[in-house]
Every structure is written in C-alpha cells, then in structure tokens.
Amino acid sequence: MFFRAWQRLSSVVLGLALAPAAMADWGLNMPQGITEVSQSIFELHMLIFWICVWIGVVVFGVMFYSIFKHRKSKGAVASKFHESLGLELLWTAVPTVILIAMAVPATSVLIQMYDTTNSDVDIKITGHQWKWQYDYLGEDVGFFSNLTTTDDEIYNRTEKGENYLEEVDNHVVVPTGKKVRFLITSNDVIHAWWVPEIAVKKDAIPGYINESWAMIPEGQEGIYRGKCAELCGVQHGFMPIVLEAVTADEYQVWLDDQRAGKVAEAAAAQGDFSYDELMVEGAAVYARSCAGCHGTEGQGMGSIFPALAGSPMALNDMAGHIDIVINGKPGSAMQSFSAQLTDVEIAAVITFERNAWGNDTGETVTPKMIIDAKK
C-alpha cells in the first residue's frame, strides 16, 4: 500500500521533471526566452530546481520514515552517541559533491552571460525618472522612450488598452542574428533594465556602467516587453521597455530613418509656428513628459513638484521658464529636457504652460528662442 503510493508520487514527480516546457507554459515558471543564453539559464534553473526537489524528497523522506518507524509507541529508544566519523564524513562529502555538480553548469552559463566581447551593435541605455534613453554608439542615433499609456487609462476614466503600462513612443530596435551589447547606466537613482524574454536584467547605477548582451535568433522578429525592475520612485511602474527585433536589413532602414528624422527636426526648428500649432503640440508634450510630476491640470504634487497653474515663473519669468526646462534645476527633481525634447517640443510645451489652466499670458515661445537659449 505504502509502496504503491510512493510509486505513484514518484511517477508524478518524474512526469513534471520531464515536462519543464509544460510548466513554463503554465505561467508559474520563469520564461524560457528566445535567446541561446535565456535557454541556458532556463535549463540551469530547472536542473537546480530538480536537484533541490530530490534533496527535499530524500531528506524529508528519511526524516518522516524515521519518525514513523521509530515512534515512541513502538517502544523505540534513542541511541546515545557522541561522534560518528563515518556519518560526519558522509554528510560533508555528499553536499560538497552536489555543490560542485551545480557549480560546473552554473559557471558555464555565467561565463556565457558575461561574454560581451565581439558585439555587432552597442546600445547605451540610461535610466531616468521615469523613462529610458537609448544611444546607438557610433551610429549617431539616440532617443528617449516614454510611456504612452494615458492618464485616463491609469485613473480609470477610460477603458485600459491592450498594452496597458507596457507601450512607449519609441521602441528600442535591434537586429536579429547580431550580437547586441547593452551598456546600462542611470542619470539619477538606481533603475534596472529587464526584458525577460532575452534574459537580460541589469541594474542601472548612476556613475557606473553595467554590461550585458543578447543575440536574438533570426526568425524571432517581434516585440518583447520589459520593465524597470528596481524600485526607483513614485512612477517606477510607468517606465516600460519595448524591444523590437527586426531583420538586419530592416534595422539598417530604421537607422537611416532615424538619422533623416533628426535632420528634419533640426530643419523644422528653423520654421515658423503659430500660437495654435504650439498649443496643440505643447499639450501633447506636457501630457507625455510633464504631467506625471506637475499634474494633468498643472496643479503640482505636494511640496516636491510645484504647481504650474498660477506659478510666478509661468506668468512672469519667461527667461527663467525656458532656462529651467532646458537645464533643469540642480538639487531638485526637475531634470534637464534639453536632450529629451526637440527644440520645437520645448518651445511648444513652454508656450502651453504659459497659456493653459488660466495662465493666459498670450505669450508664444518659438523654437528659435530655444535654439538661442541653448547657445
């Protein structure tokens, strides 16, 4: 009876051991991912998991068997001895062998994970409160990646979209079949860049550069989502990562588009914009880049993020207003938007802030004024 039950339990455990993929699909296990490294990590994880399971089964099995077999009601008497050299050697040697058996594959995977040499593409990733900045080294391409989920979705004023809190304006695009090296750092507090499907999770630490890499196999083109994995402030949950894997050819086209877009932006900044155009653009930029701290209606947030509605700076000090948006305010949470926004966007958002929520100054800030202020 006992033997049959034990046999049945062993069959279940063995069945589970042989079906790691099924467990991953179940959703309780870690994802297998799409890269060679992620597969290696998954296999290592399963190996260690089953070693632990079998240790547990053996240790608790012996323990419960002993408790049952040598119970007091059967008249068992505890044997009293001080030392047992053989037993002590056994319980030292067995864990040592098990640890070495685990260390060998673990070391192999770690070496694979940390080998960032011979990369084809290098991307510097900088964490900001609360967005990611991507710079493609040597390609003259760089941008910020901002959350696009609207406040209406966040505050339940409208239905939540399919990729709620998981969509951004600019995807980080990588080619498949190429080794991509990520250089990860931070501009303010500690963040962590995490995309589970490529098994990359690295802390972004101010003043320090962490490295990692991934090679997404050809044929695995698609969107892979991740998030900040280090509590980094009030909007920690609002800085997702969207990684887009494309073919090498598509990647080259995308790089060319990015460079062309940059040239077009610079040319656009020299053009003339009407008050209405700046207000429309400014409202969009404000919602995306400013509302998180200063509030959707410019009402501010506590004593840390000042209100812009009725603010003396927004009403009377245009030079100061331009300066604080371009350069930020040292010692405060107000960061520099010089690299985050284009000249047109900065002009638009300042115009918007000086005329929205009853500020009504009637003043227009042009992109040319921003270019001059940056000199």
Partner 1 sequence: MSKQQSTLRKLLSFVQSVLAGLVGIQSNKKREEDFNDGGLERMVYVGLGTLVLFLIIVITAVNSALPG
- Positions that interact with partner 1 (CB under 8 A): 82-83, 85, 88-89, 92, 107, 111, 115
- Cβ nearer to partner 1, comparing 86 with 330: 86
Nearer to partner 1, 108 or 158 (CB): 108
DSSP string covering 161-213: -TTTT--BSS-EEEETTS-EEEEEEESSS-EEEEEGGGTEEEEE-BT--EEEE
Report the nearest approach of partner 1 to the CB of residue 126 (Å): 29
Q: What is the rounded radius of gyration, in angstroms, for the C-alpha atoms of the chain? A: 29
Say how far apart CA 7 and CA 181 lie, in whole Å: 49
- Residues with Cβ within 8 Å of residue 263, at least 6 apart in sequence: none
- Residue 93: CB minimum distance to partner 1, A: 8
Nearest approach, Cβ of 233 to partner 1 (angstroms)? 38
Residue 178: count other Cβ atoms within 10 Å of its Cβ.
Answer: 16
Does residue 84 contact residue 146 with C-beta atoms inside 8 Å? no
**To which residue do tokens 């493609």 refer?**
136
**Cβ 175 to partner 1 shortest distance, Å:** 25
CB of 107 to partner 1, least distance (A): 5
Separation CA 322–CA 255 (nearest Å): 31
The residue whose two tokens read 């030392």 is 83
In the complex, minimum distance from the CB of residue 89 to partner 1, in angstroms, rounded to a whole number: 6
Q: Which of 212, 184, 359 is nearest to 282 (CA)?
A: 359
CA distance 239 to 227: 6
Provide the residue count of the chain: 375
Quick one: 115 or 151, whose CB is closer to partner 1?
115
Rounded to a whole number of angstroms, the minimum distance from the CB of residue 36 to partner 1 is 16
Q: Which is nearer to partner 1, 9 or 93 (CB)?
A: 93
Question: Is 11 or 92 the residue whose CB approaches partner 1 more closely?
Answer: 92
Looking at the Cβ atoms of 65 and 91, the one nearer to partner 1 is 91
Measured from the CB atom, the residue of 134 and 213 that comes closer to partner 1 is 213
